[in-house]
Structure 1
Amino acid sequence: MTSAPARACGIDFGTSNSTVGWLCPGQPTLQSLEDGKPTLPSAIFFNADEGSTHYGRDALHTYLEGYEGRLMRAMKSLLGSSLMDGGTEVAGRALAFRDLLAHFIGELKARAETAAGRPFEQAVFGRPVYFVDDNPAADRKAQDTLEAIARQVGFSEVSFQFEPLGAARHYEAALTREERVLIADIGGGTADFSLIRLSPERARHTDRRDDLLGNAGLHVGGTDFDRALSLACVMPLLGFRGRLRNGAEIPSALYFQLATWHTINTAYTRQSFADFQHLYREAASRRELDRLGRLIDRREGHWLALQVEQAKIDLSTAPAIALDLDRLEDGLQHPITAEDFTRATETLVDRVAATVRDLLQQAGIARQDVDTLYFTGGASGVPHLRTRIAAELPDARCVEGDLYGSIGAGLAVEAAGRYG
């Protein structure tokens, strides 16, 4: 903790939730962003009925109350994607996706400044190890885009740190001895890993390059688990993997749009509706497509995605749940078990485990030489994912950090070190 308030803040702009950290003696590191809470869900709702804009929990609650408008979530996933240079329609007007992100990050900045009682002009932003897998040019463009947006909303100095290294700084503050630590940061959009030497002595050093033993990451996170669960267990109720009268499988594009947070709104375009009408005419069975038609007509895609997301959360602690889908058909309930969830996400978990193995191999570190496995990020709470990662490091002590706050708090430490 510094003896005077830091000049800069640390910002964890997340796929699902965002936080802002600031070091000030005697004050909590994470700033209160909504209803006294340090997290602001990364969501915007443009309320067409009242001409208002809502953020975070308020955005989700207002949308679920039935107001007409446009809900946007998982906006961070746009960075590095081909969609980033495009836009969407809000209240009959075109809105560029860059300006959409600026709306949210500007609100994040304003709320942090209100909580801190001072302006922020310098910030360290967290970033995933890779915004885009296996494409350095696209990855660099994603960071450059985020930096430009940060400057657009009023930051004059912007720098970046890998999100798992932000979490490492937070964990290191509590250490009494040196450890080799694998930071597993699994958030809404990415799974990122940093293997690093941490200790009270090393914490005093500004240059930590020699302590970083390796980084790895891939574009798999909580929203990918949502999509996999939706496609495996829910979309078949709407006709996914059904058949046309000619025996061919129903095309899957519309289902993938509805199962992916940042593409749900594309399912409501005229072209998508025309595609649906063609499928309906040619389908061998129409009961499932009747449900799909109701969902599209009522624009209930985000509502369904929220039900699937809650099912994912509930299945992390319960052996089975019953999904209430009466908005699609009166009395429709669908059981999903924890085993269903495990099977649906098996491929994703395999990819994450392979990334951990590759990181150890590239770093030249034996699995038994890692002292601690430190989990952060909301999706790291998925039991079968956590168990699989821990199996790669059987001798490591497992530690759970603040799943939603470790990165923001660590970035605050980084910001104080860089900018004073």
Structure 2
Amino acid sequence: MAIACGVDFGTSNSTVGWVRPGQPSLLPLEDGKTTLPSVVFFNADEDAVRYGRAALLDYLEGYDGRLMRSLKSLLGTPLMEGQTEVGGRALPFRQLLGQFIGELKGRAETAAGREFSSVVLGRPVYFVDEDPDADRLAEDTLAGIARAAGFSDIAFQYEPIAAAFDYESRIEREELVLIADIGGGTSDFSLLRLGPGRRERLDRRDDILATGGVHLGGTDFDKYLSLAAVMPLLGYGSSLASGAAIPSSYYFNLATWHTINLAYTRKSVVQLDDLVRDAAEPAKLRRLRALVEDRAGHWLAMQVEGAKIGLSGAEQVELELDRLSPPERLRVERATFVDAVEGLVDGIGAAVRRLLVEAGVTPGQVDTVFFTGGSSGVGALRERIAAIVPDARRVEGDLFGSIGAGLAIDAVRKFG
């Protein structure tokens, strides 16, 4: 059995991998499932902290409290050194991430029946685009949080390279592989030579032709779908009676997972009262104010996320927005989603092209595209990547587990 584990702390879901002979590498973390949604709910009614699916269930059942999701997106941003209010007291975001990492570690140790002091942590190719200092600070911050949670020996591996190690464990011939890891917060890519004759090498630097990525992912798809299809019901794009535009910050906060709680401040509620009075369409602003007062922003974001997932396989979906006042049944077309995220798809496609140029590889030389990450199921994105390397075969890994499994393999190389 391996000494160390691999931890994939994801924007939307997290996993822990541990190599054991003859057994699956991913450890069960919640109700027998190997994924733990990266969610924390501070249940004020029961004075308890819930994690994962239990956190989401408490929130949806209407318990009073504070829901926090997409915690990883805070790394590399100024918010990381800030704090939020929970139960009338200030909670530093650094401490919040530490609580979640500590919970992840504890659950993995319970499942494994042993303690882990050594870990390989997954990280995106870029926490922060085009800012090496901020990117380095984000990694150092995560290392400090992991150390405070009880890990003493810490190494990092790029998430798409970890996914490559998982894919390599199952192939029987050498391939040039493009790893497309489309997660909740980032889209990361690696181009590697993989094969049975290479997998036992301790030093794989010569096999990695290029790595790259952009800070765009599934939560960004959620955001732009929300702004295009749902937020207009709450007044987004409307105006004041004077003709001035309604400030967009309320809608952007509500459409972005890690800033939803910013919409709930007392200052925001007071400002919304003024906007209702001065709006050209006051009914929409009253609906927005009611949503904020009910702290239903995360519920609304979950409905949008569900629509995004549904539109990957259907031409249209219907949303039952029964917590709006008045309730609304909204039909969302796939074409609306595709138009809303076109700029994001363009940016991700450009990152793939840059990767090929950096590696000195033509599209026709790529044998395989290996898709992983929960957001790699978005059809428009898959089609764009497939069009860039049209001759490559497409392989789908475990969308939520490939990285954790690959990190476990890398942990054996690094720690034994």
- Indicate the residue corresponding to 2:306 in structure 1: 310
Which aligned pairs between 1:318-333 and structure 2 lie closer than 5 A? 318-333=314-329
Give the superposition deviation at 1:275: 2.3
Letter of the 2:265 partner, please give it.
T
- Indicate the residue corresponding to 1:70 in structure 2: 66
Quick check: 1:370 aligned with 2:359?
no
Give the superposition deviation at 1:277: 2.1
Cα deviations by residue, 1:53-80 (Å, 9 ceiling, x for unpaired): 1000000001100000000000000000
Match of 1:220 among 216, 220, 223: 216
Cα deviations by residue, 1:22-52 (Å, 9 ceiling, x for unpaired): 0011322000000100000000000000000
* Distance (Å, rounded) in 1 between the aligned partners of 2:300 and 2:68: 14
- Give the 3-state SS of the residue equivalent to 1:7 in structure 2: coil
Letter of the 1:38 partner, please give it.
T
Which aligned pairs between 1:131-150 and structure 2 lie closer than 5 A? 131-150=127-146
CA RMSD, 1 decimal: 0.8
Q: How many residues align?
A: 416
Cα deviations by residue, 1:282-335 (Å, 9 ceiling, x for unpaired): 211111111101101111111111111111111111111111112112441111
Give the superposition deviation at 1:158: 0.5
Q: Describe the shift of the 1:98–1:331 C-alpha distance in structure 2 as closer, same or farther (beyond 3 A).
A: closer
- Give the 3-state SS of the residue equivalent to 1:379 in structure 2: coil
Which aligned pairs between 1:15-414 and structure 2 lie closer than 5 A? 15-414=11-410
- Give the 3-state SS of the residue equivalent to 2:376 in structure 1: helix
Letter of the 2:348 partner, please give it.
V
Letter of the 1:256 partner, please give it.
F
Cα deviations by residue, 1:153-192 (Å, 9 ceiling, x for unpaired): 1001001000000000000011111110000000000000
- Give the 3-state SS of the residue equivalent to 1:54 in structure 2: strand
* Distance (Å, rounded) in 1 between the aligned partners of 2:396 and 2:280: 50
* Distance (Å, rounded) in 2 between the aligned partners of 1:278 and 1:136: 42
Moved more, 316-325 or 363-372: 316-325
- Give the 3-state SS of the residue equivalent to 1:26 in structure 2: coil
Letter of the 2:157 partner, please give it.
Q
Give the superposition deviation at 1:254: 0.7
* Distance (Å, rounded) in 1 between the aligned partners of 2:283 and 2:164: 51
* Distance (Å, rounded) in 1 between the aligned partners of 2:302 and 2:111: 29
* Distance (Å, rounded) in 1 between the aligned partners of 2:115 and 2:211: 33
* Distance (Å, rounded) in 1 between the aligned partners of 2:187 and 2:316: 26
C-alpha contact (below 8 Å) 2:13/2:37 kept by paired residues: yes
- Give the 3-state SS of the residue equivalent to 1:380 in structure 2: coil
- Give the 3-state SS of the residue equivalent to 1:70 in structure 2: strand
Q: TM-score, normalised by structure 1?
A: 0.98
- Indicate the residue corresponding to 2:7 in structure 1: 11
Quick check: 1:418 aligned with 2:409?
no
C-alpha contact (below 8 Å) 2:174/2:195 kept by paired residues: yes
C-alpha contact (below 8 Å) 2:287/2:326 kept by paired residues: no
C-alpha contact (below 8 Å) 2:221/2:341 kept by paired residues: yes
Letter of the 2:6 partner, please give it.
G
* Distance (Å, rounded) in 2 between the aligned partners of 1:293 and 1:277: 8
Cα deviations by residue, 1:68-113 (Å, 9 ceiling, x for unpaired): 0000000000000110000111111110000000110000000000
Letter of the 1:379 partner, please give it.
S
Give the superposition deviation at 1:274: 2.4
Identity across the alignment (%)? 62
- Give the 3-state SS of the residue equivalent to 2:291 in structure 1: helix
Letter of the 2:281 partner, please give it.
S
Letter of the 2:382 partner, please give it.
R
Which residues of structure 2 form unaligned runs of 5+?
none
- Give the 3-state SS of the residue equivalent to 1:164 in structure 2: helix
Q: TM-score, normalised by structure 2?
A: 0.99
* Distance (Å, rounded) in 2 between the aligned partners of 1:178 and 1:68: 55
C-alpha contact (below 8 Å) 2:14/2:38 kept by paired residues: yes
Letter of the 1:104 partner, please give it.
F
- Give the 3-state SS of the residue equivalent to 1:188 in structure 2: coil
* Distance (Å, rounded) in 2 between the aligned partners of 1:345 and 1:57: 28
- Give the 3-state SS of the residue equivalent to 2:375 in structure 1: helix
* Distance (Å, rounded) in 2 between the aligned partners of 1:25 and 1:351: 41
C-alpha contact (below 8 Å) 2:187/2:215 kept by paired residues: yes
- Give the 3-state SS of the residue equivalent to 2:268 in structure 1: helix
- Give the 3-state SS of the residue equivalent to 1:411 in structure 2: helix
* Distance (Å, rounded) in 1 between the aligned partners of 2:273 and 2:252: 17
Which residues of structure 1 form unaligned runs of 5+?
none
